[in-house]
Amino acid sequence: MMKNSRTALKSPHGFNKPFGFYRLTGVALTVMGIAAASAAHAELRFEISGVGASQIPVAIAAFPGEEGGPQQITSIVKADLARSGVFKLIDNSDSLSDASAINYGDWKNRGANALAVGSVQRLADGRFDVRYRLFDTIKATQLSALSFGSQPQLIRLTAHKIADDIYEKLTGIPGIFSTRIAYVTRSGKEYRLEVADADGEGVQVALRSNEPIISPSWSPDGGKVAYVSFEAKKPVIYIQNLVTRQRTLVANFKGSNSAPAWAPDGQRLAVALTRDGLTQVYVINADGSGLRRLTNTAGIDTEPRFSPDGNYVYFTSDRSGGPQIYKVSPNGGDAQRVTFGGSYNISPRISPDGKTLAFISRREGKFQLYALDLTNGQEQRLSDTVKDESPSFSPNGKYIMYATESGRRGSLAIVSTDGRIKQRLTTQVGDVREPTWGPFMK
Amino acid sequence: MRTFSSFAIVLSAAMLLAACSSTKLDDKNAPVENRAGTGATTDGADPRAVNTVNAGSDPLNDPQGILSKRSIYFDYDSYTVKDEFRSVVEAHAKYLNSHKDRKVIIQGNTDDRGGTEYNLALGQKRAEAVRKALVLLGVSDAQVEAVSFGKEKPKALGSDEAAWAENRRSDIAYQ
């Protein structure tokens, strides 16, 4: 069965990619009982530590018929839930379909507050009919029922959607397992902008270059990524449609063009340009038209980020000496200083609810991830690592992904916004950096 | 320019030696001249020396010339051109002023400590410092562009002071 599950993990995408992903280790492995498979093609590895303040005990029964699908759905669902840190998976060897009678009392006695069951059936047209139900074993009620007609290559996505549904029904917060991440890898002289599922699986290469790629940023609709490419021997901003591969040159002014950040409407971007001297913040339309200068200092203003409500642009400025975070109306006017602790605060990112500022602060020589509660000014250090960069909120606001270093190699880490749950995505070959977490998609 | 003129003197001396070797050594009656001072110009150079000009040669390509120096190094957390690099900047300004068709890109770099984008902005400060110095020396705006590589293209790898110092740098790249 272990062997089967590994074979099943090789998706149609997987056959094309030069490196596969290593599956779960650490806590997740213990919980799941999944054997770490051959690392021959492995590149990224997830490690998890810490658990949520309280864990919801949930049982996932095997879905009859899933062995016949390209991937074992419940393995993916269980891995997602375990990685989130907010569930305790109740071990079981049951196989229950969506039509099975549920013995609520039995599952309650086994310690499960919730139970997921389902089935997988191959349809005549090659698709798979995936059905799933979620039950509350305490109240003896059904919480959810979904069915999917899934193309074979979308089985993984279907599994993530089931995990999202379980997460949302049991926590009240939308799940992020079906969202995607983008990041930059470097191996030898090759830089790649890659897109993967939030669990690091299903890697697809969006851009290959022999020059650096930095600051990728997902469009609000999830279909495009803006980034900075050095392919022209200088930093230039592009937007790339991930499906059509169409690239739009957004900013290639004299000097450096960098730090693209989408406005919530997806029509404009805030960018950092040096066309008028040192780095300053500008707003530009996504087609490269309508350039307008937003900040006006004799020093550095960079790393703009729109607040989710679009009312502010946060940015890094050295106007007071060292870099600090400020905010300004996208229509211009006076900027207000936001960070005061420490002498080096950079890379502002605002949580989806607008209440938390994540940023990188240098204190005692360490560059670490901090969160500032914008409602009460409370500051919290979220990371134990020391070369942190490029934070990015999950679209449900519960996690922050950031770049750090592990064994002198660039790696990615994820921490829950309460600092309790920590995950690490490490590479075996090359560096991985500059992560950006994609939005919810329909 | 000092380096260049001393190089010229060395070169003429070398040619002189080459000329001497062709005189007949067995002619003992030949009058011995005291060459030092005799016929020499006030600056000490031999008025009979001949220095070769290769048509089409460009001082930019002289591996011994000051124009071969294309890197300006900066102190930690500093973005001003140090005095020791004045002569290099001046030489490039002079060359660009006499070669209006030539263009340069000034590429600013930083060490690897700190954020990607903030370092890109700091690298730009180093590039801009060199660009401004060139423009103040009369180089046309159209001939020079300042860009930054930030910490993305380190020349020296490693996390020690020697590597960091090597990477705190602006390069003058002729197009």
CA dihedral A379, A382, A383, A386 (to 10 degrees): -20
pLDDT class of B127 with cuts at 50, 70, 90: very high
Centroid of chain to Cα B145 = 19
User: Mean of the pLDDT values across residues A343-363?
Assistant: 98
User: What pLDDT does B57 receive?
Assistant: 80
CB contact under 8 A, A214 and B105: no
Q: Does A252 touch chain B (CB under 8 A)?
A: no
User: How many residues does this entry show for chain B?
Assistant: 175
User: What pLDDT does B45 receive?
Assistant: 75
* Chain A positions in Cβ-Cβ contact with residue B77 (cut-off 8 Å): none
Chain B residues touching chain A at CB-CB below 8 Å: 105, 107, 113-118, 120-122, 124-125, 128, 145-150, 152-153, 173
User: Mean of the pLDDT values across residues B121-149?
Assistant: 98
Residue A340 has pLDDT above 70, yes or no: yes
The residue among A237, A252, A253, A256 with the most chain B CBs within 10 A of its CB, best to mutate, is: A256
pLDDT class of B63 with cuts at 50, 70, 90: confident
User: Torsions phi, psi of A373, nearest 5?
Assistant: -75, 110
Q: Residue window 260-289, chain A: list those with CB within 8 Å of chain B.
A: 272, 274, 277-279
CB count in 10 Å sphere of residue A377: 10
* Chain B positions in Cβ-Cβ contact with residue A235 (cut-off 8 Å): 120, 147-149
Distances (CA, A) of A312 to A327, A335, A359: 6, 10, 16
**ipTM rounded to 2 decimals:** 0.87
Q: Does A235 touch chain B (CB under 8 A)?
A: yes
User: What pLDDT does A8 receive?
Assistant: 30
User: Mean of the pLDDT values across residues A298-317?
Assistant: 98
CA–CA min distance A287, chain B (Å):
23
Give the amino acid at A183. Answer: Y
Tell me which of A439 and B63 has the higher pLDDT: A439
Residue A228 has pLDDT above 90, yes or no: yes
pLDDT class of A48 with cuts at 50, 70, 90: low
CA proximity to A228, closest of A195, A259, A274, A255: A259
Helix, strand, coil percentages in chain A from 3-state DSSP, rounded to 5:
15, 45, 40
CB contact under 8 A, B114 and A346: yes
Q: Does A389 touch chain B (CB under 8 A)?
A: yes
CB count in 10 Å sphere of residue A440: 16
* Chain A positions in Cβ-Cβ contact with residue B124 (cut-off 8 Å): 255-256, 274, 278-279, 300
User: Mean of the pLDDT values across residues A311-336?
Assistant: 97
Is A51-171's fold the same as A180-437's?
no
CB contact under 8 A, B120 and A279: yes
* Chain A positions in Cβ-Cβ contact with residue B146 (cut-off 8 Å): 255, 274
Specify the CATH number of the domain B59-174.
3.30.1330.60
Domain ranges of chain A: 51-171, 180-437
CA dihedral A376, A382, A388, A393 (to 10 degrees): -70
* Chain B positions in Cβ-Cβ contact with residue A259 (cut-off 8 Å): 117, 120
Specify the CATH number of the domain A51-171.
3.40.50.10070
CB-based contacts of A206, cutoff 8 Å, min separation 6: A182, A192, A193, A194, A195, A225, A240, A242
pLDDT class of B46 with cuts at 50, 70, 90: confident
CA–CA min distance A376, chain B (Å):
27
User: Mean of the pLDDT values across residues B35-48?
Assistant: 62
Taking the C-alpha atoms of residue B149 and residue B116, their distance in angstroms, rounded to an integer, is 10
Taking the C-alpha atoms of residue A325 and residue A337, their distance in angstroms, rounded to an integer, is 6
CA–CA min distance A390, chain B (Å):
8
In A213-231, which positions are buried (b, 16+ CB within 10 angstroms) versus exposed (e)? bbbbbbbbebbbbbbbbbe
Whole-model pTM: value is 0.83
What is the CATH architecture of A180-437? 6 Propeller (2.120)
CA–CA min distance B137, chain A (Å):
18
Out of B118, B125, B173, name the one closest to residue A303 (CB). B118
How are beta strands A422-427 and A42-49 bridged, if at all? antiparallel
Taking the C-alpha atoms of residue B111 and residue A373, their distance in angstroms, rounded to an integer, is 32
Out of B115, B120, B122, name the one closest to residue A235 (CB). B120
Tell me which of A113 and B62 has the higher pLDDT: A113
Placement of tokens 């400025």 in the chain? A317
CA proximity to A168, closest of A361, A393, A405, A440: A440
Centroid of chain to Cα B4 = 10
- The mean pLDDT of chain A is 88
Percent of the residues in chain B that have a pLDDT greater than 90, as a whole number: 61
pLDDT class of A3 with cuts at 50, 70, 90: very low
CB contact under 8 A, A272 and B121: yes
Return the number of CB contacts < 8 Å for A and B.
Answer: 88
CB contact under 8 A, B147 and A214: no
CA–CA min distance B14, chain A (Å):
42
User: What pLDDT does A27 receive?
Assistant: 31
Spatial contact of A101 and A132, defined as CB atoms under 8 Å apart = no
User: What pLDDT does B32 receive?
Assistant: 58
Q: Which residue of B has its CA nearest to A234?
A: B147
- The mean pLDDT of chain B is 83
Element holding B19 (H helix, E strand): helix B2-20
Per-residue pLDDT tens over the stretch A139-168 = 999 999 999 999 999 999 999 999 999 999
CATH 3.30.1330.60 range(s) for chain B read 59-174
Q: Does A249 touch chain B (CB under 8 A)?
A: no
Q: Which residue of B has its CA nearest to A279?
A: B121
pLDDT class of B49 with cuts at 50, 70, 90: confident
CB count in 10 Å sphere of residue B104: 22
Give the amino acid at B96. Answer: L
The residue among B120, B140, B145 with the most chain A CBs within 10 A of its CB, best to mutate, is: B120
